[in-house]
Structure 1
Amino acid sequence: MRARLDIAYDGTEFSGWAVQPERRTVAGALLEVLEQILGAGVATGLTVAGRTDAGVHATGQVAHVDLPDPVWAATGPTLLRRLAGLLPGDVRVMALAEAPAEFDARFSATYRRYQYRVTDAPWGASPLRRRDTLAWPRALDVERLNAAAAGLVGEHDFAAFCKRKENATTIREVTRLDWHRTAADGVLVATVQADAFCQAMVRSLVGAMLVAGDGRRPPEWPAGQLTRRERSSAVTVAPAHGLTLVGVGYPEDAGALAARAAATRRLRIPAD
């Protein structure tokens, strides 16, 4: 059977999601505990919705894993609590449930949603939020930030904002990108949602918007980078610790999961 895991983690001390030799990663920590509980090689096919980079956090990460039916029958009712007892304190499985066989945490997803937190307060980030909030040394204007964001919404080739991988497309559709300043503490929060993201894309978008928000670049400058077909050296990648994966969307109808997965696998070809 296939199990869906909803996961949260503080990415500060992780070298990203994916297993890496001799490095502490979220997937590595999770697999280690699953082996402790179930035995070596029992849980297979661990697949995640978004492979976050080193230092990036999550409150809404989703993954799936395959388990033999008898194992699920025997351990399913207690597995969530047993994971809580053995996992390190900076990663939690928040929910665990049987999923349709067609469910694929990566390819069935219809969107990923991230938030990036920035403070322009002269004293910097609150001590209790220093791990997930970037302290920016210049005053930021919300209207300028949103003007910069508006030009990046839609389907574009985001090559200027991505670390290109061989045989991989950099075309993505950003369906939401906006900023607001919270009433409680004045922190600026960017929300960005897309069907998928290429490596370093969100932090590059944030980096480009921040220099528009503090007045060093015009608000139209980030969108102007979309004409490039390679990584722009003028775009600074914002630090990882301000970024959190907050949600992943899936079709509600189980029958649509396989269709969505097939559509996602389709290679998007850049327009001439």
Structure 2
Amino acid sequence: MDTIRLRLDVSYDGADFSGWAAQPGRRTVAGVLIEGFARLIGAETPLGLTVAGRTDAGVHATGQVCHVDLPAERWTELAGSLLRRLAAVLPPDARVRSVTPVPDTFDARFSATFRRYEYRVSDAPWGPEPLRRHDTLGWMRPLDLDRLNAAAAGLLGEHDFAAFCKRKEHATTIRAINRLDWRRDPDGVCVATVQADAFCQAMVRSLVGAMLTVGDGRRAPEWPAELLTLRERSSEVMVAAAHGLTLVAVGYPDETEYAARAEATRRLRA
């Protein structure tokens, strides 16, 4: 059967999802996408749904990317209306924003060059604005932006982030962070931007949790970087709540480099 690979750009409000990955008896983002496609093309059609990065329960996305393989015949029938049809069958807290044919060398997970997240924190004494309560953490201590950025600077680069990760058997905790900084938006909310080639489970939320204790004055700016010498998860690191975190972008090389990038990513870091 001839198939065509499609890149899906996806957004979702993670509040009512048990994360990305399909799980029996639980509502997940992958689950509702698979159900939506089943209604349009038949439940018996294998999709090979592959995502750039699995998000945990409660985490949101405005820039998630995944791919599916559709029978070429069905794509021919649906090409002009698939986006609109998906909008009709998906729940309001999950949206497919674009559907793009890509070469079969494209792999949403392994061809990616970076994932970028943002974490929103309000240190206003009254807490987050009600309309942003689902994507903004309330922090009851005032935060100092200079201290936050000083802590962030010590975490840049390639390191073993074991102190900030939930370790998985036979998986490396070495990662390369190429962007980590804080800003304060006009609404007063502090926003951390973190970008890396990939992340361990709970790594971003752990980094944010560590930096927040620096920003409010309870820890020294050097403390998060000092934890990089550890080879096990640190019990002193607070994991920030899931709802403040949003996956905002996934980067990819030129399409001529999809296969090479995927091959390089599959090699385990030493």
Shared fold per TM-score greater than 0.5: yes
- Aligned residue for 2:21, secondary structure, equals coil
Give the Cα–Cα distance (whole angstroms) in 2 for the partners of residues 30 and 160 of structure 1: 34
**CA deviation string 1:13-66 (max 9, x = no partner):** 000000001000000000001000100132411000010000000000000000
Which amino acid in structure 1 is aligned with residue 266 of structure 2? R
Give the Cα–Cα distance (whole angstroms) in 1 for the partners of residues 44 and 209 of structure 2: 41
The one of 155, 160, 169 equivalent to 1:157 is 160
Q: Is the Cα contact below 8 Å between 1:35 and 1:43 reproduced in 2?
A: no
Q: Is the Cα contact below 8 Å between 1:117 and 1:242 reproduced in 2?
A: yes
Please say if 1:82 is aligned against 2:85: yes
Q: Is the Cα contact below 8 Å between 1:34 and 1:43 reproduced in 2?
A: no
* Alpha-carbon offset, residue 86 of structure 1: 0.9
Give the Cα–Cα distance (whole angstroms) in 2 for the partners of residues 40 and 240 of structure 1: 32
Q: Is the Cα contact below 8 Å between 1:30 and 1:87 reproduced in 2?
A: yes
The one of 37, 58, 63 equivalent to 1:60 is 63
The one of 182, 203, 207 equivalent to 1:179 is 182
Residue equivalent to 1:267: 268
The one of 102, 105, 130 equivalent to 1:102 is 105
Unaligned runs of at least 5 residues, structure 1: none
Please say if 1:202 is aligned against 2:171: no
Residue equivalent to 2:15: 12
Which amino acid in structure 1 is aligned with residue 256 of structure 2? G
**CA deviation string 1:219-244 (max 9, x = no partner):** 00001100000100000100000000
How many residues are matched? Answer: 267
Give the Cα–Cα distance (whole angstroms) in 1 for the partners of residues 41 and 71 of structure 2: 10
- Return the TM-score normalized by structure 2: 0.98
Unaligned runs of at least 5 residues, structure 2: none
Runs of 4+ in 1 over 4 A off after TM superposition: none
Residue equivalent to 2:191: 189
Give the Cα–Cα distance (whole angstroms) in 2 for the partners of residues 87 and 243 of structure 1: 23
- Aligned residue for 1:132, secondary structure, equals coil
Larger mean Cα displacement after TM superposition, 66-75 or 165-174: 66-75
Larger mean Cα displacement after TM superposition, 76-85 or 189-198: 76-85
State how 1:227-246 maps to structure 2 within 5 Å: 227-246=229-248
Residue equivalent to 1:40: 43
